[in-house]
Amino acid sequence: MAASEANTVATAATGTSNLPAARVRRIIKEDKDIFACGSESLFLISRATEYFIDSLVRESYEFSRLDKRKTVQYKDMAKAVQSIEQYDFLADIIPPTVSVRK
């Protein structure tokens, strides 16, 4: 088992999240359609957000490795959003880079 997997299992076993619960709750309260959010729901939303961020970063890292780099740049995230269908909803938020050369 890799170190990151062991950390994920340990975190899941204790029922904690890396995201601050107060901030997640504040973001949830911004949605006018949600009237109340229990602690279990808050935890599940936090964990789902962590998994989503992890997935997006891993895919972006693969694009940086293809360019023989170890650092993820904006263009790597844009390539991931552009080429992977599950991230289509981010196309307006993370558009591909455009050069200004003539």
Residues of the chain with pLDDT under 50: 9-11, 13
**pLDDT (tens digit, 9 = 90+) per residue, 55-80?**
999 999 999 999 999 999 999 999 99
Q: Tell me the pTM.
A: 0.75
Q: Dihedral through CA 75, CA 77, CA 78, CA 79, nearest 10?
A: 90
* Run of H or E residues at 29: helix 21-29
pLDDT of the residue at 101: 79
pLDDT of the residue at 15: 77
Average per-residue pLDDT for the chain:
87
Contacts of 21 (CB under 8 A, 6+ apart): 42, 43, 46
pLDDT of the residue at 35: 87
